[in-house]
Structure 1
Amino acid sequence: MTHTAQPSTTRTTRRTPQLVGTALGHALEWYDWGIYAIFVPFFATQFFHQGNQLSAVLSSLAVFAVGFVARPLGGFVFGWLADRIGRKTAMSATVATIAVASFAIGVSPTYAGVGAWASLILLVARVVQGLACGGELPSAQTYLSEIAPAGKRGAWSSLIYIASVFGNTVGVLLGLVLTLTLSAAQMHAFGWRIPFLLGGVFGLVAVYMRRKMSETETFAKAGRDRSPLWPELVRHRTEALRVIGLSVGFTVVYYSWVVAAPAYAISSLHLSSSGALWAGVASSVVLMAVMPFWGRLSDRIGRKPVLLISTIGGAVVLYPVQFLVRDNAWQLFAGMTIAAVFISAGVSILPAVYAEMFPTRIRAVGLAVPYSVAVAIFGGTAPYLQTWIGASLGQSSYTGYVVVLLLVSAVVIARMPETRGKDLT
């Protein structure tokens, strides 16, 4: 009896640093990635010409989108590293890279000081962050899915997006604290630098934690595969296309209603900074709280029903939610919370769904490349389109765009096989 209990205890002990390292590093990744969108209203005129506030904001959001363009390349490089060298190595490299880029933004000179060079420094730093983020999410999703018990993979996978939202929420909270303690002039002058500098410091902690993690048993059993990668990717092209179709709706609605909504409310709806940020924080708490419920439900009734609840339900509520949000923070909180309930259903289990599509030898890179392509095209442009279409055609037009993409993902989901409880081989 003692011999049967010991392995379970050992596995539990070993998984603690694995879970902490995965969650902490992933939270940092999304903190560094998200604070850009959160603090755009404050630093836009520091990197671009100050003559037109809207133009400066749109220019900053264009750089935000360019960072996404680098994600497919980063997904391939770090995904290849994860599948050939190890998940742990790739995850340590991504978190170190994004932290360095965050620190670089924090110490960058302004447009007033060096002219267009400031814009170029911001662009390069954002591209480097895009490379790192392109590899982080697939590597972390793969790692967590491989250490999770098959019957609880949906519940465990919710940790990835809980960490994502937590990292973004920390950024929003920091923005709230800064806007309450610093004047508007101080926020534009130097306050916006603080979150980027902290991101560099947090990165050192995350790298240390990930160095203490062990490799997954699934990858260790498979061994380091030296066979050609491209033929295997071609063989799984249907799964790759499915990743893109599945991701487009979730990506746009997530960036629109979780990441960029407070910044949009500040710059376009003219809500107070503190009110919009408080609404973002409160709705994010709800989002994190309901994710484990959806993960456990998917382990009981299947992945497809939960994904369809998320996409179709989200498509149904978005127009009422849009008309709900007008000119105060309580409306923004209510709208973001309603959207969050449906968004959480899908994103909480996406790591498990993606991992169950591919074999171990290409699980990271097979997901990384198509996922990064979808995020680059649709996620990277979401805040820009939200601002530009909202100003030019009205917010209803942008909401229609999001609804269409959610329905595209719903069609893809309906045609997918059910993978609940699948053994990862």
Structure 2
Amino acid sequence: MAPDRSRTRLRSILAGSAGNTVETFDWFVYAAFTLYFAKVFFPAGDRTAQLLSAAAVFAVGFLARPVGAWLMGLYADRVGRRAAMTLSISLMCAGSLIIGLAPGYDRIGVAAPILLTAARILQGLSMGGEYGTSATYMAEMASRHNRGFWSGIFYTTLIAGQLLATGTLIALQALLSPEDLQAWGWRIPFFIGGGLAVLVFWLRRTMHETPAFTGKSEDRATTWKLIVRHPRESLIVMGLTAGGTLGYYTFTTYIQKFLVNTSGFSKTDATWMTAVGLVVFMAVNPLLGALSDRIGRRPILIAFGIAGTLLTWPLLSTLARTHEIAPALALTCAGMVLVAFYSSVNGVVKAELFPAEIRALGVALPYSFANALFGGSAEAVGLWFKHRGMESGFYTYVTAVIAASLVVYVLMPDTRKTSRILED
């Protein structure tokens, strides 16, 4: 490959990745700061009830993701990957600024949680379109020999946004008193996210379109064509996503609240442990992605399915009884490494299943349905079991869904060998 083309490809991938980081930062700031602003929008009830209400809004944002995936996927397949990615960052910016400016329940009553929900719907539309389009863009821009590695990098950039959200929380916990953080400090990261989104909007306008899109057939992407022509591929995406996304949100997002609400750690300690776990998670993803370029995607996914089925219950039940930082940190990191076997390759696997003319929609829409059902509800389900005094039921639930996905991993083709991305 010519040096100029290699530089253009790398620059475009990195520009897209910067957008992933900012989008994920804006999305996960909500989860990271829920412990502080839940009372602002939902003042009634005990801490678990407030967290449950805030988690329900988090889940509502996920319900908007299939709509965003549908609209943005069609837009990306018809107009271009770059155009869709630029639009998605604009929606995320708007949602973040609305949350940052929203008055609390004490000032505008029930309108406060309604405004919060509306902002999360905007962000859900953005994230629904962002994942499918950016995963498609990454897979189409990378060469066939290192797509797995770049898939790992892709997820690393997503995790980086989540880690930055956690790091922002750590910094504000150090700089502000708990009272100030709960009163107004939680708004700061939403303003940061909105400002960064403006910068990414400019960067994405300078990105190159992928050769796969510019060289695709003139066959117009429609939802009906996805359903009729690619039902098997769509079901594979939903099946492989279900267990992975539930494991992901359990061990990278809900785990912070689990450490506080179940294990009994302070908010600060729980945040630090989550941050360290995310650093480990980031480091492992590219390594497993690169391994998939050598041995295939399917063995990596099967490893996640087997480990998740066997280890989820022991990890969570032991962590629930652990009250010392060192073993709790080890268990938290172990859970995230387990999930990395899914996250490192799932983006490229989905893209490799579909032809270029319907790839963005095919990646985004089935993924978003599964993500809304299993990933977005993870916190709400976990807190519901906790509220009912049946927390071990949540461990069983996560284990069962991962086991169901394992069946998909065993039966699906290895997309490294059957990839429908023809361009190198």
Query: Which residue is 2:150 aligned to?
Result: 156
The RMSD of aligned alpha carbons is 1.5
Shift of 1:223: 5.3
Q: TM-score, normalised by structure 1?
A: 0.95
8 Å contact kept, 1:38–1:175: yes
1:170 and 2:164 aligned: yes
Offset from partner CA, 1:229-262 (integer Å, 9 cap, x none) = 5134311011111111110000111001012211
Which residue of structure 1 aligns with residue 402 of structure 2?
A: 406
Structure 1 residue aligned with 2:393: 397
Q: 1:102 to 1:416 in 2, by over 3 A?
A: same
Question: Given that residues 38 and 263 in structure 1 are in contact (C-alpha distance below 8 angstroms), is that contact kept between their aligned partners in structure 2?
Answer: no
Q: Counterpart in 2 of 1:419?
A: 415
Match of 2:224 in 1: 230
1:240-279 correspondence runs (5 A): 240-279=234-273
Given the alignment, which residue of 89, 99, 123 partners 2:93?
99
Q: Secondary structure at the match of 2:323?
A: coil
Gaps of 5+ in 1: 1-6
Do residues 381 (structure 1) and 377 (structure 2) align?
yes
Secondary structure at 1:193 match in 2: helix
Shift of 1:300: 0.9
Q: Which runs of 5+ in 2 are unaligned?
A: none
Question: Any idea what SS the aligned residue of 2:107 has?
Answer: helix
The one-letter amino acid of 1:163's match is: T
Counterpart residue number, 1:118: 112
Q: What residue in structure 1 maps to residue 141 of structure 2?
A: 147
**In 1, Cα distance between equivalents of 2:226 and 2:59:** 30
Q: Which residue of 1 aligns with 2:62?
A: 68
Q: Contact 2:69–2:361 (CA<8 Å) still a contact in 1?
A: yes
Q: Give me the whole-angstrom Cα distance separating, in 1, the residues matched to 2:114 and 2:167.
A: 29
Q: Take 1:412 and 1:110, find their aligned partners in 2: how far apart are those partners? A: 45
Distance in 1 of aligned mates of 2:226 and 2:381: 36
Match of 2:19? Answer: 25
SS of equivalent to 1:271: coil
Structure 2 distance, partners of 1:332, 1:11, is 47
Amino acid aligned to 2:413: P
1:46 corresponds to: 40
**Deviation digits for residues 259-304 of structure 1 (CA, Å, limit 9, x no counterpart):** 2211332244331111111111111111111111111111111111
CA separation in 1, counterparts of 2:9 and 2:16? 10
Determine the C-alpha separation between the residues in 2 that align with 1:384 and 1:370.
Answer: 22
Deviations 1:88-146 (A, max 9, x none): 01011111111210111011000001100101100100011111111000000000000
Letter in 2 for 1:336: T
Name the SS for the 1:215 alignment partner: coil
Q: Which deviates more from structure 2 when the two are superposed, residues 387-396 or residues 25-34?
A: 387-396
Q: Which amino acid aligns with 2:331?
A: G
Q: Which residue of 2 aligns with 1:239?
A: 233
Q: Which residue of 2 aligns with 1:350?
A: 346
Tell me by how many angstroms 1:423 deviates: 4.8
Matched residue type, 1:392:
R
Structure 1 residue matching 2:215: 3-state secondary structure? helix
When the two structures are aligned, how many residues end up with a matched partner? 419
For residues 42-65 of structure 1, what are the alpha-carbon distances to aligned partners after superposition, in whole Å with 9 as ceiling and x for unaligned? 000101124433222111111111
What displacement does 1:362 show?
0.7
Match of 1:198 in 2: 192
The whole-number CA distance in structure 2 between the counterparts of 1:244 and 1:216 is 25
Indicate if the aligned counterparts of 1:17 and 1:212 stay in contact, CA closer than 8 A. no
Q: Say which SS state the counterpart of residue 209 (structure 2) adopts.
A: coil
Question: Quick one: distance in 1 between partners of 2:344 and 2:330?
Answer: 21
Aligned-residue offset at 1:314? 2.0
What displacement does 1:310 show? 1.1
The structure 2 residue matched to 1:300, chosen from 294, 299, 310, is 294
